[in-house]
């Protein structure tokens, strides 16, 4: 089963099927507004601006699973991201990303890569290939504009 078989609601409440991104690589990132890694929003936006025109989709998934660092509503999250970091990349509604009640895509990731690959904190990153298969995963400490991430993105876009 590819990632394109799953669906979210976007941050505005509209349907956001992953099939919309079929044929494009997707960088899936669980995000939070009150985390030490929150400044990564700026580099996620930079990644979106640099590689989005070439086909990359950056998809932020707000989650309150780690340290209760995303307590806001979708409207508060959207306003924070837009005003503080100029975020224009796609964002889902707030989701659980770990455990039995995690969003089905995150449960699929844990099943595909093993429980150890589930997010351990905010700003965990997964690169999904054009075919909907998982290509890479990075911990929160690996920045979106790091050579590891940009190199994998460029390879996925090639």
Contact partners, residue 147, CB within 8 Å, separation at least 6: none
Longest dimension (CA), the chain: 38
Give the integer Cα–Cα distance in Å for 97 and 118: 8
Q: Tokens 């990303």 label which residue?
A: 97
Say if residues 48 and 88 touch (Cβ distance below 8 Å): yes
With a threshold of 0.85, does the pTM exceed it? yes
Active-site annotation holds for 81: no
Give the integer Cα–Cα distance in Å for 31 and 89: 12
Is the model's pLDDT at 51 over the cut of 90?
A: yes
Give the active site residue among 35, 81, 97, 153: 35
- Domains in the chain, start-ordered, CATH in brackets? 3-157 (3.40.30.10)
Which of 55-64, 82-91, 115-124 has the lowest average pLDDT? Answer: 115-124
What are the beta bridge partners of residue 10? 92
């Amino acid at each position: 089963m590819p990632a394109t078989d799953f669906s979210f609601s976007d941050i505005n409440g509209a349907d956001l099927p992953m099939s919309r991104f079929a044929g494009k690589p997707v960088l899936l990132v669980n995000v939070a507004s009150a985390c030490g890694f929150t400044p990564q929003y700026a580099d996620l936006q930079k990644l979106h601006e640099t590689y989005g025109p070439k086909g990359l989709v950056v998809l932020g998934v707000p989650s309150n699973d780690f340290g209760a660092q995303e307590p806001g509503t979708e409207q508060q999250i959207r306003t924070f991201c837009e005003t503080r970091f100029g975020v224009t990349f796609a964002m889902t509604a707030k989701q659980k990303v770990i455990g039995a009640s995690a969003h089905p895509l995150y449960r699929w990731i844990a099943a595909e890569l093993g429980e150890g690959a589930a997010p351990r904190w905010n700003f965990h990153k997964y690169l999904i290939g054009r075919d909907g298969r998982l290509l890479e995963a990075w911990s929160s400490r690996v920045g979106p504009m790091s050579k590891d991430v940009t190199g994998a993105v460029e390879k996925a876009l090639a």
